């Protein structure tokens, strides 16, 4: 055992630019593989509800036994934070040495949340979308949107992206920025959810809405949907009729039933657990198919799992050590 006395503090600025989406997708896919092989401890998130403020707080621990990585994330979701000029989601991650319990690092988890959520979408899209998918619809142009986009671009040759957000400014800014960053892709700001859904090969929904805004009649055969926004009880973005006719894969069965896209239809008895084909982990290890035919509608229901935070935090920590980034502090000893 090498005795470590210092805890590495890493801010968002430290983390920015030291890891890229391609490598995060690899470690996140690896984390789902470990889950599929039964080699992780990843209990469901624990929630606190700040009802009078319209927000919540989640605690997310994980241990990946075979790669000896363990971490815990504390993360909030406050959709009304714009008025305080704060992100809706802010997170802190503590990376733990499983051998001793020592806190190896305390780091910003806000950027890591965006990146690992994007990466999970990338993994799901790789296994579940049609390989010739070219047109992407994106509903929600907030903090997560960019990472959802870049992860999708890692796994598909997207040519056109249709973007809708109820906030006109957020939508137009996103489209303008992406048009500069990716000049070979056509970005179109659209005026309705329907225009971001109708005729798309892949759809990503990433809003905090509780009113389903994607209608079944807009979805063409063969579309893959990444339903990312619903991650707490009562949230839903898709017309339940879509779920009834689709092949549904979740990131975690218990979390999805509690708080994913399926939570409201299951609570109302419109859908049941047996309508869910399996977990992304099962797809990655080849136990369950992500897609069976070119004309089926597939849905990845993402709630966000702690193993994906842990492996991304581990990647960040190792890279920061290599690059001598961050601040070492003696947190514990006299």
Stretch that binds ligand NAD, among 35-43, 91-99, 129-137, 227-235 (CB under 6 A): 227-235
Instruction: 84-89: list long-range contacts, CB under 8 Å, 24+ apart.
Output: 87/143, 88/142, 88/143, 88/208, 89/113, 89/143, 89/144
Single residue of 44, 70, 105, 113 touching ligand NAD by CB under 6 A: 113
Q: At its nearest, how many Å lie between ligand NAD and the CB of residue 52?
A: 19
* Helical (H) or strand (E) element with 13: helix 12-15
The smaller minimum CB distance to ligand NAD, of residues 117 and 223, is found at 117
Q: At its nearest, how many Å lie between ligand NAD and the CB of residue 250?
A: 11
The smaller minimum CB distance to ligand NAD, of residues 88 and 179, is found at 88
Q: At its nearest, how many Å lie between ligand NAD and the CB of residue 223?
A: 18
Helix 168-181 × helix 145-155 angle, to 10°: 40
**Residues designated as active site:** 73
3-state secondary structure (DSSP) of residue 270: coil
DSSP line for 199-268: T-SEEEE----SS--B-GGGPPTT-EEEE-S--STT---B-HHHHHHSEEEES-HHHHHHHSTTHHHHHT
Structure tokens at 240: 């339940």
Instruction: Find the binding residues for ligand NAD in span 290-329 (CB under 6 A).
Output: 302-304
With CB under 6 A, what is the number of residues at the site for ligand NAD? 28
| Contact string (CB under 6 A) for ligand NAD, positions 49-78, x = contact | ----------------------------x-
The smaller minimum CB distance to ligand NAD, of residues 77 and 253, is found at 77
Single residue of 88, 92, 173, 179 touching ligand NAD by CB under 6 A: 88
Q: At its nearest, how many Å lie between ligand NAD and the CB of residue 215?
A: 13
Whether residue 10 contacts residue 325, with contact meaning beta carbons closer than 8 Å, is answered with yes
Whether residue 266 contacts residue 248, with contact meaning beta carbons closer than 8 Å, is answered with no
Instruction: Find the binding residues for ligand NAD in span 180-219 (CB under 6 A).
Output: 206-209, 213
Q: At its nearest, how many Å lie between ligand NAD and the CB of residue 34?
A: 18
Phi, psi of 218 (to 5 degrees): -90, -15
Q: Does 228 bind ligand NAD (CB under 6 A)?
A: yes
- Rounded to whole angstroms, how far apart are CA atoms 334 and 229? 44
The smaller minimum CB distance to ligand NAD, of residues 191 and 294, is found at 191
∠ at Cα 324 (321, 330), nearest 5°? 75
Instruction: Find the binding residues for ligand NAD in span 116-175 (CB under 6 A).
Output: 117, 139-144, 164-167, 170
Q: At its nearest, how many Å lie between ligand NAD and the CB of residue 194?
A: 12
Single residue of 103, 229, 265, 326 touching ligand NAD by CB under 6 A: 229
Q: How does strand 327-329 pair with strand 202-205? A: unpaired
CA distances from 85 to 14, 78, 89, 107 (A): 22, 12, 12, 21
Contacts to ligand NAD by CB under 6 A = 77, 79, 88-89, 113, 117, 139-144, 164-167, 170, 206-209, 213, 228-229, 231, 302-304
């Amino acid at each position: 055992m090498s005795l470590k006395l210092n805890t590495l503090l890493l801010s968002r600025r430290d983390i920015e630019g030291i890891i890229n989406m391609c490598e995060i997708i690899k470690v996140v896919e690896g984390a789902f593989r470990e889950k599929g092989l039964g080699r992780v401890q990843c209990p469901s998130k624990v929630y606190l509800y700040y009802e009078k403020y319209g927000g919540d707080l989640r605690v997310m621990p994980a241990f990946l036994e075979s790669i000896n990585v363990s971490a815990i994330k504390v993360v909030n979701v406050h959709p009304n934070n714009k008025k305080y000029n704060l992100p809706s989601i802010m997170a802190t991650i503590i990376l733990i040495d499983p051998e001793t319990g020592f806190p190896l690092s305390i780091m910003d988890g806000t950027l890591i949340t965006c990146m690992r959520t994007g990466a999970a979408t990338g993994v799901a899209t790789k296994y579940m979308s049609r390989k010739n998918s070219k047109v992407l619809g994106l509903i929600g142009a907030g903090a997560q949107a960019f990472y959802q986009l870049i992860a999708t671009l890692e796994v598909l040759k997207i040519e056109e992206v249709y973007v809708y957000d109820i906030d006109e400014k957020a939508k137009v800014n996103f489209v303008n920025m992406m048009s500069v960053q990716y000049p070979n892709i056509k970005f179109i700001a659209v005026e309705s959810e329907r225009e971001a859904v109708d005729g798309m090969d892949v759809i990503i929904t990433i809003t905090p809405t509780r009113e389903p805004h994607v209608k079944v009649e807009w979805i063409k055969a063969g579309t893959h949907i990444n339903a990312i926004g619903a991650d707490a009880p009562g949230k839903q973005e898709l017309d339940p009729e879509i779920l009834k006719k689709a092949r549904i894969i979740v990131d975690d069965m218990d979390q999805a039933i509690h708080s994913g896209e399926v939570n409201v239809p299951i609570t109302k008895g419109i859908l049941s657990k047996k309508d869910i084909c399996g977990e992304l982990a099962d797809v990655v290890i080849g136990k369950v198919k992500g897609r069976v035919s070119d004309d089926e509608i597939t849905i990845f229901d993402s709630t966000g799992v702690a193993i994906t935070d842990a492996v991304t935090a581990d990647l960040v920590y190792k890279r920061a050590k290599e690059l001598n980034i961050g601040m070492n502090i003696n947190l514990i000893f006299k």
